[in-house]
Amino acid sequence: MKLLTDPQEEASPTSSSIRSDTAPHAASAQNHRAHRSPRINLSLENTPHPLRNAILQCASNWGWETLNLSDQTTRPPDGTIILVDSSLPRSSSVHNNPIVRIRTSLDHNPEADVTFDFEEAARLGAWKLMSLENIPLVFVGTQENPTSSGMAKAFQQACSDAGRTSLAVMLPDGPERIPNLRKTLTDLDRPSAIMADNDTLALEILHQATLLGIRVPIDLAILGCRDGNTHTSHLQTGLSSIEMDLHQAGRAAATLLRKWMRGIPSNTHPIRIPPCGIIEHESTRVPNTGGGCICRVILKIRQDFSKPLCVSSLARDCGMSVRSLYRRYRNVTGTTISKHLMVSRIQAAAELLKSHHLKLEPIAIETGLGNAKNLCRLFKEHFGVTPGQWRELFSQTQT
């Protein structure tokens, strides 16, 4: 997926979109607007700061005069950018001028012109949780929400592609929501890993797990998905979350409005902004094991994965034989030392692949995978995609 990231770019990117019903309005006034600064209405109350700042930066670069919808003016605006929960009518224009709608939450709204790729976020979440240990994987979402259902399918497909099974639990709204969630948490094997469809739900899972005496992340790893809202928690455990690219969404919305005002047509709708990474905190950081010496071995692997590790040295540090270490490690984690070491190296390679200037051979050497051929084979086996496909998912600079 290619996204416009340069505010000065004029060519339409493959993922940008313009609805044909807005183009005539923009074309009819194009010549007149060329001789004055465009006036843009912004309805961005409760908008995340990175998204709002990106729009305002574009407006400054292009010489736009920004107004609030409540501003009284004798001259109508040349364009409008709003969130989809705005009270403006669901039309393609305001005062016969184009309007761009941004959807930042999971609420399903087909009117959105710029939205986030929550299904891609679910796939990224699945890959993250699969990298922890060989433990049960669960997606928790919300009933009656097409976006949440789509995320659940994407999560389970990513797990299936990697040869892992997973469970999807869709919670009802209303008074049955919390009892259903508590039953789900009580019935889970321990340790397990959960991805929630948004941060609000993830924090509720974290809260209920704490009330039930379920240790996070020792018994349960939890991953959320940033849905554009700001969350705070009184709990001591920080929440890991998929980070949505709010800055990119703001730039895309401003660029789309600029094109519409100039009458540039397109036939793709809407613009879907992929996630830009994972913000990791305590809820997924500590190994999901209960054994003290085994926990130290896991931490050693995660810290020194790129170095040659001697199993006999690890066993000596634990005060046991190599055979006993192998047996206990498998009993506690459900996987082998060599498998865990490989997963740690693949995960590190996945992070390095986000940088387009790094070639596969240096990445393989730096992460302890040996060579590019070995990297490609193991990466495909683990994630179900090639290193090149993974890198494309996180491309943020293509135009």
pTM of the model: 0.63
Tens place of pLDDT for every residue, the chain, 399 residues? 333 333 333 333 333 333 434 444 444 444 444 557 888 888 777 778 888 899 999 999 998 888 876 555 566 788 888 877 544 444 444 456 888 888 877 766 667 888 888 999 999 899 888 877 678 899 999 888 888 999 999 999 998 988 888 999 999 988 899 999 999 999 998 889 999 999 989 999 998 998 888 888 878 999 999 865 444 455 567 889 998 888 888 998 898 888 888 888 665 677 888 888 888 888 887 554 445 577 677 777 777 888 888 888 888 887 888 888 888 877 666 678 888 788 888 878 887 887 777 889 999 998 888 899 999 998 888 777 788 887 876 664 333
User: 118-243+279-285, what's its fold?
Assistant: Rossmann fold (3.40.50)
Distance in angstroms (rounded) separating the CA atoms of residues 152 and 195: 9
CB atoms within 10 A of CB 315: 21
Cα distances (Å, whole numbers) of residue 285 to 217, 222, 338, 393 = 7, 10, 20, 23
Q: How would CATH label the architecture of 23-115+245-276?
A: 3-Layer(aba) Sandwich (3.40)
DSSP class of 385: S
Q: Judge if 23-115+245-276 and 118-243+279-285 fold alike in CATH terms.
A: yes
The dihedral through the CA atoms of 261, 266, 269, 275 has a sign that is negative
**Residue ranges per domain, the chain?**
23-115+245-276, 118-243+279-285, 292-393
Beta carbons within 8 Å of 383's beta carbon, 6+ residues apart: 127, 162, 346, 350, 390
CATH number of this structure's domain 292-393: 1.10.10.60
C-beta of residue 266 within 8 angstroms of C-beta of residue 16? yes
